[in-house]
Amino acid sequence: MIRCALEGVGIAAPGLAGWAASTPKLAGNAAYLPPDAGDLEPPYAPVLLPPNERRRATAAVRQAFRAAEDAMRPGLEPRDLASVFASSDADLAVLNRICSALAEPARAISPTDFHNSVHNAASGYWSIAVQAMAPTTTVAAYDASFTAGLLEAAALTAHLDTDVLLVAYDAVAPAPLLAKRPLASSASVALVLGRGDRGAFGALDIDVNGSGETACTRAALETLRVGNPALRALPLLELVAALCPGTVTLRGTGGLRVNVTYSP
Amino acid sequence: MKPLAISAYTVTSAAARGRAAHFDALRAERTGLVEQRFEDATLACWIGAVPGIESVSLPADLASFDCRNNRLAELSLAEDGFLDAVAAARARYGAARVGVFIGTSTSGVRHTEVAFRERAAAKSAHLPDWYDYRTTQSTFSIADYVRVRLGLDGVTNAVSAACASSAKVFASAARALETGLCDAAVVGGVDSLCLTTLYGFNALQLVSTDICRPADANRKGLSLGEAGGFALVERAPAPGTLACLGAGESSDAHHMSQPRPDGAGAAQAMARALGGVPRERLSYVNLHGTATPANDAAEDAALTRLLGTTVPCSSTKGWTGHTLGAAGIVEAALSLLAIEHGFLPRSLNTRELDPKLRGAVLLAPLQAPVDCVLSNSFGFGGANCALLFGRAA
């Protein structure tokens, strides 16, 4: 079992625009209403990115930044944080452009698309934005990517003296890839984990001996949870929002099930 | 970090299949790079293609995973008794206690390229029915294939940090073992040739039309290769046995596709990997050494600022090409071979050493006792990872 202090939380998902605004909805003190399908938000402009990188950052990178920036608070120094980025698919819009270009006779790939095509693009942009030279890694585990990232980040806190930023994110693919990887929404979740018994948001105890899987009890949130790998975190975030002690079971890869016990 | 026992390891690249054949190729200075076209690519360059991938068949129950990258995994897993070593670990610890950490940069993207080509030819709005995203293109596909193929059910990740991916798997596995998430782990990496990386690196003007010449005064860029490699790692290596003694990670925080010119980020990763091991125990540095002008210069700056100008070093990409997400595990394996055989490979294809480089680049091989070896891997996004190998105390 690994114990981590919980030092920060961020979220960006349909109808959940930031942790402060989402807390009453996740805690059950306010109704969660999914926005109308046609009610699109403007593209997010990351606050921390320098202008050059902001121009080049893709939609998936912006999605990652939105939750990561939301998780920052006074007392957390972004440049000192190690980081784990967890994403099933990184940026399928970039893959779509590259593979479409390669199907044409000219095969002209944009150099910017190519450097944005690496799975660790968000990690790269983040380290440039906050000037963090600390260890960072990027993991993928399909629908279990949040769980994989949580395990990686928790193990990293035990290894380092610094806090660890975990960012889980995935963005909706364009056609024709959407039909092959049908995510319902773009979303991201960020946690800041640290060494120690208790942080500003409480503590997590994580172990790999679980069974089953915890769902959200409210139907609209459950629809959201299963529609994006990052939002598999929602049952845990419901506990944190309500300051309610309890245990959720997250699905890992294969038969692996991970128990996460929250103490406020 | 606590040392990791290397209980088994294997490597397959354009240079050879398996450890013994790789050592032969190193000693005979036989490159796996050939001036040829990949599939219907129009670029004239040298590539390191692994022969025989086309005829590999996956086990029938895993047929949905069929793509070039998973075939290369299957080919690599079959060498050096690796399947048996993992089966023994599975029997000893239980499938749920053996983790799987696999690095890749492009996973099954070749499969997606073919699907898009077919869609364009058919003037269809849809990708073909045979195209299965999860089992081929998905970054996790390669880790899932290895997990299922080896009958394992422990903590499993794909690590995808560009060309540092399959070095970073050692760091992930070390942390998972130290925190009790698993009791043993299969680490490795697989990346296969595709048009995305050929045309992508070409768009960045980093592909050489000549064979790659690391550290050469006239180096023009990299040659792409494909490879797969794996290691079985456990806790507490017995004294005198092969071990991963350190893993260091850092970020450049500089640029998405160019290394930090002063090498500060790379030097941080190397220093973290070395930890408290005395510098005089370092016999050799296996360089990332892609043979692009910028990489080799920045890496030399990192090396010399941390270690001075006397530690023997070379890049082995003249044998394998740059195998991207597999480079970390390939060069880990070649570093372990160097230790086992007391043999340091020279910088293959280097004709005239770049006078601006200050490191002790080997222009001839060295037969000598080898204590510790540092292996560097650096990637896009400023991802740096260095690994320290040696014999356990």
Residue A48: what pLDDT? 92
Taking the Cβ of residue B258 and every Cβ of chain A, the question of whether any pair is shorter than 8 Å is answered with no
What CATH number should be reported for the domain holding residue B195? 3.40.47.10
The residue of A180, A193, A205, A258 whose CB has the most chain B CBs within 10 angstroms, and thus the best one to mutate to test that interface, is A180
Of B127, B140, B254, the CB nearest to A140: B140
Task: Report if residue A260 sits inside a domain.
Answer: no
Task: Report if residue A257 sits inside a domain.
Answer: no
Helix (H) or strand (E) holding B32: none
Amino acid at B152: L
Task: Choose among B76, B54, B52, B31: nearest CA to B228.
Answer: B76
Interface of B with A in 264-323 (CB under 8 A): 264-265, 268, 272
The token pair that represents A70 in the structure block? 């939301």
Total residue count of chain B as it appears in this document: 393
Amino acid at B124: S
Q: Report the percentage of chain A scoring pLDDT > 70.
A: 98
- Answer whether B243's CB lies under 8 Å from B389's CB: yes
Distance CA A168, CA A190 (A): 6
Could you tell me whether strands B282-286 and B34-35 are parallel, antiparallel, or unpaired per DSSP bridges? unpaired
Q: How many domains does chain B have?
A: 1
Q: Is pLDDT above 70 for A38?
A: no
Task: Report if residue A124 sits inside a domain.
Answer: yes
Distance CA B81, CA B87 (A): 10
Contact B159 A137 (CB under 8 A): yes
The token pair that represents B269 in the structure block? 């990763």
Number of Cα atoms under 13 Å in the Cβ half of residue A218: 16
Residue A53: what pLDDT? 86
Q: What is the pLDDT of residues A176-228, one digit of tens each?
A: 999 999 999 999 999 999 998 999 999 999 999 999 999 999 999 999 999 99
Residue B79 Rama label (left phi>0; alpha psi -120 to 50; beta)? beta
Bridge-partner residues for A189, per DSSP? A11, A168
Q: Report the percentage of chain B scoring pLDDT > 70.
A: 100
Q: Is pLDDT above 90 for A143?
A: yes
Comparison of pLDDT for A231 and A36, the residue scoring more: A231
The residue of B101, B132, B133 whose CB has the most chain A CBs within 10 angstroms, and thus the best one to mutate to test that interface, is B133
Q: What is the pLDDT of residues B205-259, one digit of tens each?
A: 999 999 999 999 999 999 999 999 999 999 999 999 999 999 999 999 999 999 9
- Answer whether A250's CB lies under 8 Å from A214's CB: yes
Distance CA B150, CA B153 (A): 9
Task: Choose among A56, A51, A17, A8: nearest CA to A186.
Answer: A17
Q: What is the pLDDT of residues A93-103, one digit of tens each?
A: 999 999 999 99
| Mean pLDDT of the region B316-335 | 98
Task: Note if B163 is an active site residue.
Answer: yes
Task: Note if B111 is an active site residue.
Answer: no
Report chain B residues whose CB lies below 8 A from the CB of A120.
160-162, 379-381, 383
Distance CA A76, CA A79 (A): 9
- Across chain B, what does the average pLDDT equal? 97
Helix (H) or strand (E) holding A6: strand A2-13
Report chain A residues whose CB lies below 8 A from the CB of B200.
98, 109, 111, 113-114, 117
By CB atoms closer than 10 A (0-12, 13-18, 19+), residue B178 is middle
Task: Report if residue A13 sits inside a domain.
Answer: yes
pLDDT category of residue A52 using cuts at 50, 70 and 90: confident
Name the closest residue on chain A to residue B382, using Cα atoms: A124
Distance CA B94, CA B85 (A): 14
DSSP tag of A199 = B
- From the candidates B45, B313, B322, B372, give the one annotated as an active-site residue: B322
Distance CA A227, CA B81 (A): 42
- Answer whether B391's CB lies under 8 Å from B241's CB: yes
Taking the Cβ of residue B137 and every Cβ of chain A, the question of whether any pair is shorter than 8 Å is answered with yes
The token pair that represents B116 in the structure block? 């898009």
Task: Report if residue A259 sits inside a domain.
Answer: no
Taking the Cβ of residue B381 and every Cβ of chain A, the question of whether any pair is shorter than 8 Å is answered with yes
Q: Domain residues for A101? A: 2-200
Name the closest residue on chain A to residue B138, using Cα atoms: A89
Report chain B residues whose CB lies below 8 A from the CB of A152.
157, 172, 175
Of A89, A102, A132, the CB nearest to B195: A102
pLDDT category of residue A40 using cuts at 50, 70 and 90: low
Q: How many domains does chain A have?
A: 1
The helix/strand/coil state of A38 is coil
pLDDT category of residue A36 using cuts at 50, 70 and 90: confident
Contact B140 A141 (CB under 8 A): yes
Q: Is pLDDT above 90 for A37?
A: no
Of B140, B195, B249, the CB nearest to A142: B140
Q: What is the pLDDT of residues B343-374, one digit of tens each?
A: 999 999 999 999 999 999 999 999 999 999 99
Q: What is the pLDDT of residues A55-82, one digit of tens each?
A: 889 999 999 999 999 999 999 999 999 9
Task: Render B206-246 in DSSP notation, one character per residue.
Answer: -B-SSPP-TTBTT---B-EE-EEEEEEEEESPPTTSEEEEE
Q: What is the pLDDT of residues A227-262, one digit of tens each?
A: 999 999 999 999 999 999 999 999 999 999 999 999
In sequence order, the 6+-apart residues with CB closer than 8 A to the CB of A205 are A1, A2, A3, A259, A260, A261, A263
Q: Domain residues for B379? A: 4-391
What CATH number should be reported for the domain holding residue A128? 3.40.47.10
- Answer whether B53's CB lies under 8 Å from B192's CB: yes
Name the closest residue on chain B to residue A128, using Cα atoms: B253
Handedness of CA B197, B202, B205, B210 (dihedral sign): positive
Taking the Cβ of residue B96 and every Cβ of chain A, the question of whether any pair is shorter than 8 Å is answered with yes
Residue B172: what pLDDT? 98
Task: Note if B322 is an active site residue.
Answer: yes
Task: Report if residue A215 sits inside a domain.
Answer: no
Number of Cα atoms under 13 Å in the Cβ half of residue B58: 22
Distance CA B351, CA B362 (A): 11
Name the closest residue on chain A to residue B168, using Cα atoms: A137
Q: Is pLDDT above 90 for A34?
A: no
Q: How far is CA B152 from CA A201, B87, B99, B295, in A?
A: 35, 9, 7, 38
Report chain A residues whose CB lies below 8 A from the CB of B196.
98-99, 102, 109, 114, 117
- Answer whether B233's CB lies under 8 Å from B6's CB: yes
Of B1, B162, B180, the CB nearest to A120: B162
The token pair that represents B370 in the structure block? 């080898």
Residue B70: what pLDDT? 98
Q: What is the pLDDT of residues B73-97, one digit of tens each?
A: 999 999 999 999 999 999 999 999 9
Contact B105 A254 (CB under 8 A): no
DSSP tag of A133 = -
Contact A138 B160 (CB under 8 A): yes
